[in-house]
């Protein structure tokens, strides 16, 4: 499959048509390059808050509600674009108030298939900002998605930094990591996590980022990142594990070809077999003996 992963700048939108035109252009460009799977970043949907006006966008709590109220419309647009261009799209994640979860919002990504299918993945572990300032909460458990392109998993940003979450999706050939990071330190935390998960589960990870400045939002005012596609540094993959990467803070798509057969091969006969040997940790993850040296 050919994937396109976004370094996505959020804009102040003056009308719904502004958003529809922007999203349509992004999808059209990626599809025109032959991409079959398009990944947008975490919280890239925060630009929808501007449709409620600058005052709402600048208020943390109001912006959460303003975005959530637009998600049904955004989902309809993504579904129509996925069908029109024959692609799978992971929409930029968004705060969503879901009565089935509780009174506080979840951070939700949505996957759209060209045949009309749609599924969601909620973030599992919140960052300090999400839990201490926004009051965003963990949502529904992890899922796997069987698609015409293969089996996919989604780990939203901070989730990629936790090995057991990726292990729960060990049957996925590709793990998708939409991210939103303020500083270079945050970008590298998620990138290192993504690369480590590719090593451990012997799969491909695809990372998308928000980029640029959004002075109209106290939540996503500064963004640092770029697109990246990573694999295990082993047979059939680059020795660095970096399949493709964009340029830091440069908006646009990063493209890469992913061969599911390469994933199957390295899992079956790699130079190392991290995924197969994972359970051997269980016999050795007891508290270590402390040896006093003088």
Q: Give the per-residue pLDDT at 257.
A: 98
Report the predicted TM-score, pTM, of the whole model to 2 decimal places.
0.97
Which residues of the chain, if any, have pLDDT below 50?
Answer: none
Integer distance in angstroms from the first to the last C-alpha of the chain?
Answer: 57
Quote the percentage of the chain above a pLDDT of 70: 100
Report yes or no: 156 and 148 within 8 Å, Cβ to Cβ: no
Q: Is residue 2 classed as helix, strand or coil in its secondary structure?
A: strand
**Which are the contacts of 227, defined by CB distance < 8 A and separation ≥ 6?**
5, 6, 7, 207, 208, 209, 244, 245, 246, 252, 253, 254
CA distances to 132, 133, 142 from 2, in Å: 38, 38, 24
CATH superfamily of 2-283: Carbon-nitrogen hydrolase (3.60.110.10)
Determine which helix (DSSP H) or strand (DSSP E) holds 106, and give its type and residue range.
Answer: strand 106-112
| pLDDT at site 283 | 86
DSSP state of 43: T
Half-sphere exposure in the Cβ direction for 178 (13 Å, CA): 27
């Amino acid at each position: 499959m050919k994937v396109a992963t976004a370094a996505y700048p959020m804009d102040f939108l003056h009308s719904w048509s502004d958003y529809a035109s922007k999203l349509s252009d992004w999808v059209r460009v990626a599809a025109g390059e032959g991409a079959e799977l398009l990944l947008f970043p975490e919280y890239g949907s925060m630009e929808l808050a501007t449709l409620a006006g600058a005052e709402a966008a600048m208020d943390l709590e109001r912006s959460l509600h303003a975005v959530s109220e637009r998600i049904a419309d955004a989902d309809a647009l993504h579904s129509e674009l996925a069908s029109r261009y024959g692609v799978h799209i992971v929409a930029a994640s968004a705060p969503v108030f879901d009565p089935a979860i509780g009174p506080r919002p979840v951070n939700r990504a949505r996957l759209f298939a060209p045949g009309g299918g749609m599924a969601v993945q909620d973030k599992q572990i919140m960052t300090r900002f999400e839990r201490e300032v926004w009051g965003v909460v963990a949502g529904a458990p992890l899922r796997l998605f069987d698609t015409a392109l293969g089996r996919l998993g989604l780990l939203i940003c901070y989730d990629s930094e936790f090995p057991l979450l990726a292990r729960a999706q060990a049957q996925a050939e590709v793990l998708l990591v939409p991210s939103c990071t303020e500083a270079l330190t945050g970008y590298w935390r998620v990138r290192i996590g993504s690369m480590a998960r590719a090593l451990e589960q012997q799969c491909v990870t695809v990372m998308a980022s928000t980029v640029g400045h959004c002075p109209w939002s106290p939540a996503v005012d500064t963004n640092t990142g770029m697109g990246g596609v990573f694999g295990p540094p082993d047979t059939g993959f680059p020795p660095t594990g970096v399949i493709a990467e964009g340029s830091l803070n440069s908006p646009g798509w990063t493209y890469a070809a992913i061969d599911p057969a390469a994933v199957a091969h390295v899992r079956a006969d790699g130079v190392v077999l991290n995924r197969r040997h994972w359970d051997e940790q269980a016999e050795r993850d007891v508290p270590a003996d402390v040896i006093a040296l003088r």
